[in-house]
Amino acid sequence: MMIKLRLNQLGDTREGHFLAGFLEGAYLCQGGLSFKGPNVRTHTNDGPGGSDVHVHEDDCEAFVILQGKAIMELNGVKHPMVTGDVFIVEPGEDHHLISDPEDPCVNLWLHAGPRRHPDQGA
Give pLDDT tens digits for 58-72.
889 999 999 999 999
CA distances from 73 to 8, 87, 116 (A): 23, 11, 29
Domain ranges in the chain are: 3-117
User: What percent of the chain stands above pLDDT 70?
Assistant: 98
Give pLDDT tens digits for 112-121.
988 888 888 7
**How many CB atoms sit inside 10 A of residue 7's CB?**
13
Do the Cβ atoms of 10 and 86 come closer than 8 Å?
Answer: yes
- Rounded to an integer, the average pLDDT of 43-60 is 84
**7 vs 16: CA distance, rounded Å:** 17
**CATH 2.170.190.11 correct for 3-117:** no
- Residue 122: pLDDT band by 50, 70, 90 thresholds? low
CB-based contacts of 24: which residues, under 8 Å, 6+ apart? 59, 60, 112
Flag whether pLDDT at 7 surpasses 90. yes
- Residue 50: pLDDT band by 50, 70, 90 thresholds? confident
- Residue 65's Cβ-count burial label (10 Å; 0-12, 13-18, 19+) is buried
- Residue 109: pLDDT band by 50, 70, 90 thresholds? very high
**99 vs 105: CA distance, rounded Å:** 6
